[in-house]
Structure 1
Amino acid sequence: MSRRTRRVVPAVVAGLALLALGAWAATAALGHLLGQDPTGTAGPLARALAGAPWQDPVVVAAGAVLLLLGLLALLAALLPGRRVVLALQGAGATGPRAGITRTGLRRAVAAAAEDVDGVDRADATVRDGRVEVRARSGLRDVGDLRARVEQAVTDRLAAIPLARRPRVQVRTTTTRSDA
């Protein structure tokens, strides 16, 4: 299973640009049918650009910016997005497709860390083959808390049959001050 994120922002930008271009074209066509100058609908910017030479630094800079924006939009459309669903063991092209969402895995790992004695709050992040856990404790001396949280998270991950086992990174902090 390999569901990936949707490319919403590039799609919205492209859609709005096409909508604006279509609206301008429709207005210009209507103006042409009514006997008006089609460049009049574009306003003073179009008239200024129509008279500018190609070597003008403003025209070259505007072209470079538009080229860069176009390349970024093309890359965003062609490159795959981040995986939303992580595959479970046995889920493949021939077998049934099954997976767990990043959010589900993150919540399961954070809950396992919060179940450890001494942990007040835990947050987890799932990214690029690793799980990062941040555990906060009100204890003055956290001692072996990091090792216990890491063991609890590793045990929880072992109970979830992921196709690729992520690495576990744990950080512990204390919220208590000695003052």
Structure 2
Amino acid sequence: MTRRSRRALPATLTALVLLAASALVAVCAIQLTLGERPLLPYDSLVGSLHDTTWSAREVAVAGGVIVAIGLLLLLVAVVPGKARTAALDEHTAVSVRGLRNALRSAAQVDGVESAAVKVRRRRVRAVVRTRRAVVEGLGDTVRTALENRVGEFALARPPQVVVRVKAPRSTS
């Protein structure tokens, strides 16, 4: 069970472009029906399109742009998004955000001022900051705490834990 991110941005942009084009056509049709001058000059637009042949350069460029946009949208739809969950077993999962927050709180051992945790498919990276001058053993302590917390989650594929300690003046 791996939930993937939604494709909200491309879908929203496509919908807005289609909505704008539909609204423009509807406004022009209503203006023509009422006998008013349309927003887009219908006669000159139709005249220029009627004079254009299929072998014209403008038609080829417009077709290429439309094909490129279509292929881009197809690629966005087909390529899997970023996983939003980490599998516990084949039927249950935990959100990556929740896992990251739990690991960030587990990294707050004695001597750690702040912790930043990144959860990936195969690796958990933690960068902890401390004000200690001597940081010997702090990285191992944080790694052990993180590995214990990962073990509590019982993930289907436990990630490797990597810890980096940042200190103002490190002597080790």
Residue deviations 1:53-110, cap 9 Å, x none? 8325xx73x6544433332222112222222121213xx2xxxx32211111101111
8 Å Cα contact 1:4-1:81 kept in structure 2: yes
Shift of 1:129: 2.1
TM-score (ref. length: structure 2): 0.79
Partner of 1:41: 40
Distance 1:37 1:78 in 2: 44
**Counterpart of 2:133 in 1: which secondary structure?**
coil
Structure 2 CA distance for partners of 1:27 and 1:123, relative to 1, 3 Å: same
Q: Distance in 2 between matches of 1:119 and 1:10?
A: 41
1:124 correspondence with 2:117 = yes
The answer on whether the counterparts of 2:126 and 2:164 sit within 8 Å (CA) in structure 1 is yes
- Per-residue deviation at 1:36? 6.4
Gaps of 5+ in 1: none
What residue is the counterpart of 1:158 in the other structure?
Answer: 151
Q: Structure 1 52/147 Cα, relative in aligned 2: closer, same or farther at 3 Å?
A: farther
Specify the code of the residue in structure 2 equivalent to 1:30.
I
Please say if residues 142 and 163 of structure 2, whose CA atoms lie closer than 8 Å, have aligned partners that are also in contact: yes
Bigger mean CA deviation after superposition, 4-13 or 72-81: 72-81
Over aligned residue pairs, what C-alpha RMSD do you find?
A: 2.9
Cα distance in 1, alignment partners of residues 157 and 104 from structure 2: 19
CA–CA distance in structure 1, aligned partners of residues 8 and 37 of structure 2: 37
SS in 2 for 1:172: strand
**Could you state the TM-score of these two structures normalised by the residue count of structure 1?**
0.77
State how far apart, in whole Å, the 2-side matches of 1:4 and 1:173 are. Answer: 33
Higher mean C-alpha displacement, 1-10 vs 64-73: 64-73
CA distance in 2, matches of 1:63, 1:28: 24
| Alignment of 1:136 onto 2:121 | no
In structure 2, the CA distance between the partners of 1:66 and 1:170, relative to structure 1 (3 Å rule), is farther
Task: For residue 156 of structure 1, report the CA deviation from its aligned partner.
Answer: 1.1
Number of residues of Structure 1 aligned to a counterpart in Structure 2: 165
1:117-169 C-alpha deviation (Å, 9 max, x unpaired): 22111110112321111110101121222222111111111111111111212
What is the correspondence of 1:47-126 to structure 2 with a 5 Å cutoff?
Answer: 50=49, 54-55=56-57, 60=61, 64-89=64-89, 92=90, 97-115=91-109, 117-126=110-119
Structure 2 stretches of 5 or more lacking a match?
none
Letter in 2 for 1:11: A
Closer/same/farther in 2, CA of residues 72 and 128 from structure 1, 3 Å limit? farther
